[in-house]
Amino acid sequence: MPKLLHSIRARLLVLLLSLLTVSLILISHKIYRDASHEVEELFDAQLAQTSRMLMGLVRHELSADSRRDLQAALDEALLLKHSSRDLSGLLGHSYESKLAFQMLNDSGELVFQSASAPKGLLMEMIAQLGLSLPANEQPLNERLTLLAKYLSGYHTLTLGDHRWRVFVLHDNVDHHWVLVGEREDVRGELSGKIAQRALHPLFIGLPLLALLLWLAVGWGLQPLQRMAEAIKGRAPDNLAPLVFGPLPHELEPMSASINRLLMQVNQLLDQEKRFIADAAHELRTPLAVLRIHAQNALDAPDLQDRDDALRQLGGGVERATRVVAQLLTMARLDPNVVQLAMREMDLLSYVRNELAELIPLALDRHQELNLEAIEPANYVLLADGPSLGTLLQNLVSNAVQYTPEGGQIQVQLDAQDDIIVLRVQDSGPGVAEAQREKLFERFYRLGTGQGAGLGLSIVRRVVELHRGSISLSESPLGGLEVAVRLPRRR
């Protein structure tokens, strides 16, 4: 695409001018044809009017001298503009047609004619129309009268080197013939000039209209140009909503979208700042502890003290790793960032596989980890596998952490019509009802847990992304029960 057409203004102008040009060509063609047709009709009417006028002049008998005088007067009237006389005071028009005429008596003999009239016009017309005089003993005038109904009216004939448009009028009383005609080339030239004159305003107005379109399109695009200039002049660190003043309706969605994007960018930046602050807050103590353990290992007086310090250092590294992992998971599950890969999955099979990997955590503390589910049942739902894995890992690891050694952890699945309920129950000390809601707050911990206090915050984020719900209650095993309700369809 040419570089010029990358401009909205240029594209609009090219489109509008192309449509306008095509439309004007079609309209001009229609106007030309209609104007030419109407001019032809006027010329035909003029032939008929002239014929009736000439017929009226000779309704009475004329002497030879009168016919000569009438012939001369008519020749002078019709041919005056082509003479060498001074015509400066003569009124007339350039669109006057050049008429030729003949007057014949009832026997077809010439009474008078114009100087430009072709000879033998009536007989030539009879021949070209494929007619013939009846071969009988009737007088010529009677035989010509029999052909009057075929000869009267308009005809187009070829006489010599030119085509003629002829009107024939027959007097039923005196049986005189009047033939008035004009050459089609002269007639076509006049009709063409008249039709072209009708088109001049269109062609003269096209450049002016193009200029007006240019100005109108530029005026119409001014709000868009002002918006572009406001965005271009905005400082990179200025994420406040843009205020453009009154805007056309077509630009209001764009303004709202830009401001919504700025708000989302601002939220992402706030999230990054919050993540950095949270990471600095949560990692400050583990890193300080790691530094102390490392220093103790370096300063240990004997091998036993060094081994103790290194074991403590390993535990600190594990805790710091868990904190970092939870922080990264929390950031990854932010609603403004995460893109879930939703697909149909069998939740029972998925949970069974995930628990197989988590059993070593429970065995390490001599705990019993069980899965209960009614089979056969439909456990298929639309969900994101990795985020559900994160949910289950956090719930089970929290239960393992807060359940005493030798305790019991139970995972249940309940398939209902529209939802599947996942329950994680433990035999730990439980949580007072007044504190249960606080467990979903970030960095809130009960006792001396090893995490960052983000486990249930992460779980609730996953549940929200799946349009589900989560609740805490007392477990039948004596500890805490976490119930997650996941809809089968989003």
Q: Cα 459 to chain center, whole Å?
A: 43
Q: Domain count for the chain, please give it.
A: 3
Domain boundary among 332, 364, 396: 332
Separation of alpha carbons 484 and 347, rounded Å: 13
Quick one: which of 480, 477, 379 has its CA closest to 430?
A: 480
Tell me: do 47 and 173 sit in the same domain: yes
Tell me: do 318 and 406 sit in the same domain: no
Q: What is the DSSP string of 419-477?
A: EEEEEEEE-S----HHHHGGGGSTT--STT-SS-S-HHHHHHHHHHHTT-EEEEEE-TT
Predicted pLDDT of residue 452: 46
Task: Write out the residue range of the structural domain in which residue 307 sits.
Answer: 252-332
Residue 438 makes CB contacts below 8 A (sequence gap 6+) with 444
Tell me: do 8 and 155 sit in the same domain: yes
Tell me: do 299 and 420 sit in the same domain: no
Predicted pLDDT of residue 87: 43
User: Per-residue b/e over 116-153, b at no fewer than 16 CB within 10 Å?
Assistant: bbbeebbebbbeeeeeeeeeeeeeeeebbbebeeebee
Tell me: do 73 and 152 sit in the same domain: yes
Tell me: do 326 and 388 sit in the same domain: no
Q: Cα 424 to chain center, whole Å?
A: 52
Domain boundary among 289, 308, 332: 332
Please state, in angstroms and as integers, the Cα–Cα distance from residue 275 to each residue in 278, 318, 324, 351, 482, following that order: 5, 20, 11, 30, 27
Q: Cα 84 to chain center, whole Å?
A: 70
Q: Which residue bears the tokens 């929290």?
A: 398
Tell me: do 327 and 347 sit in the same domain: no
Separation of alpha carbons 447 and 428, rounded Å: 13
For the chain, what's the residue count?
490
| Residue 85 domain-assigned (yes or no) | no
| Residue 402 domain-assigned (yes or no) | yes
Tell me: do 189 and 43 sit in the same domain: yes
3-state SS assignment for residue 60: coil
| Residue 285 domain-assigned (yes or no) | yes
Q: Please check whether residue 387 is in contact with residue 464, taking contact to mean a CB–CB distance below 8 angstroms.
A: no
Write out the two tokens for 6: 């990358």
| Residue 417 domain-assigned (yes or no) | yes
Q: Which residue bears the tokens 């594990």?
A: 318
Predicted pLDDT of residue 277: 62
Domain boundary among 146, 170, 194: 194
Separation of alpha carbons 110 and 106, rounded Å: 10
Separation of alpha carbons 74 and 48, rounded Å: 17
Q: Please check whether residue 468 is in contact with residue 460, taking contact to mean a CB–CB distance below 8 angstroms.
A: no
- CATH assignment at residue 386: 3.30.565.10
**Per-chain mean pLDDT for the chain:** 76
pLDDT in tens, 153-203: 888 888 878 888 889 888 877 778 888 888 888 777 777 777 777 777 777
Burial of 20 (0-12, 13-18, 19+ CB in 10 A): middle
- CATH assignment at residue 140: 3.30.450
Residues facing 472 on adjacent strands: 482
Tell me: do 27 and 173 sit in the same domain: yes
CB atoms within 10 A of CB 235: 7
Tell me: do 270 and 392 sit in the same domain: no
Tell me: do 323 and 353 sit in the same domain: no
Q: Please check whether residue 482 is in contact with residue 424, taking contact to mean a CB–CB distance below 8 angstroms.
A: yes
| Residue 67 domain-assigned (yes or no) | yes
Predicted pLDDT of residue 62: 61
Q: Please check whether residue 380 is in contact with residue 346, taking contact to mean a CB–CB distance below 8 angstroms.
A: yes
Write out the two tokens for 119: 């000879």
Predicted pLDDT of residue 84: 44
Helix axes 184-220, 222-232, angle to 10 degrees: 30
pLDDT in tens, 192-240: 777 777 777 777 777 888 788 888 888 877 777 777 777 777 777 777 7
Per-residue pLDDT 10s for the chain (490 aa) are 455 556 777 778 788 888 888 887 888 778 778 877 887 888 888 888 888 888 877 665 666 677 677 667 766 665 554 444 444 444 445 545 567 888 887 777 777 777 777 777 888 888 888 887 776 666 777 777 778 888 888 888 888 788 888 898 888 777 788 888 888 887 777 777 777 777 777 777 778 887 888 888 888 777 777 777 777 777 777 777 777 777 777 777 777 888 888 887 787 777 677 666 655 655 565 666 677 777 877 877 888 877 777 777 777 677 667 666 666 665 666 655 556 678 888 888 988 888 888 887 788 888 888 888 888 888 888 888 877 887 887 788 888 888 888 889 899 888 888 888 999 988 888 787 777 676 666 555 555 454 445 567 777 888 888 888 888 888 888 888 889 888 887 6
Predicted pLDDT of residue 127: 82
| Residue 266 domain-assigned (yes or no) | yes
| Residue 411 domain-assigned (yes or no) | yes
Helix axes 8-57, 184-220, angle to 10 degrees: 150
Predicted pLDDT of residue 329: 64
Write out the two tokens for 172: 């039923």
| Residue 215 domain-assigned (yes or no) | no
Tell me: do 362 and 317 sit in the same domain: no
Q: What is the pTM of this model?
A: 0.43
